[in-house]
C-alpha cells in the first residue's frame, strides 16, 4: 500500500483532531499531542471496524472520518481508563484499599 505525503498528512490531522476531541470528552484521559494523535489514529481503525459491525454507516468525507475516529478513540480511552483503574467504573476492580481500615 502506497501512501502519498498528502494522504499521510490527512491521516495524522484526522488522528490529532479525533484524539484531542476524545480526550476532551473522556475527562482526564489526554496523553499530550503525540499521544492524542496515536489514540486518534488507533481510534480510527477501531471505529472503522466497530461501527459497521453495529450497522452504523456515517458516509464519506473528512467530517465523517473525524466522527468515526472520535467514536473509536472514545472507546479506546474508556478501555484504557478501565485497565489503568482511573475510571469511575473501575473503582475497586483488582485493587484493595487497606488504608483507613482496622
Residue 29 lies in a domain: yes
Q: Is the model's pLDDT at 95 over the cut of 70?
A: no
Angle of helix 32-53 relative to helix 62-84, nearest 10 degrees, comes to 100
Mean pLDDT for the chain overall: 76
Q: What is the mean pLDDT of residues 39-50?
A: 85
Residue 31 lies in a domain: yes
Residue 102 lies in a domain: no
pLDDT (tens digit, 9 = 90+) per residue, 25-43?
887 666 777 777 788 888 8
Residue with cell 473528512: 62
**Residue ranges making up the domain that contains 26:** 5-86
Of the listed ranges 31-35, 80-84, 86-90, the one predicted with least confidence: 86-90
Domains: count for the chain: 1
C-alpha cell at position 15: 488522528
Tell which wins on pLDDT, 98 or 17: 17
Residue 99 lies in a domain: no
Residue 48 lies in a domain: yes
R_g of the chain computed on alpha carbons: 16
C-alpha cell at position 77: 480511552
Residue 75 lies in a domain: yes
Contact 71, 98 (CB under 8 A): no
Residue 65 lies in a domain: yes
For the whole model, what pTM was predicted? Answer: 0.69
Amino acid at each position: 500500500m502506497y501512501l502519498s505525503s498528502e494522504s499521510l498528512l490527512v491521516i495524522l490531522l484526522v488522528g490529532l483532531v479525533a484524539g484531542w476531541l476524545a480526550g476532551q470528552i473522556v475527562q482526564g484521559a489526554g496523553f499530550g499531542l503525540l499521544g492524542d494523535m496515536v489514540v486518534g489514529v488507533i481510534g480510527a481503525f477501531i471505529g472503522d471496524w466497530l461501527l459497521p459491525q453495529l450497522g452504523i454507516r456515517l458516509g464519506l468525507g473528512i467530517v465523517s472520518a473525524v466522527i468515526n475516529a472520535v467514536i473509536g478513540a472514545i472507546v479506546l480511552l474508556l478501555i484504557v481508563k478501565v485497565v489503568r483503574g482511573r475510571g469511575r467504573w473501575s473503582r475497586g476492580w483488582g485493587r484493595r484499599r487497606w488504608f483507613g481500615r482496622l
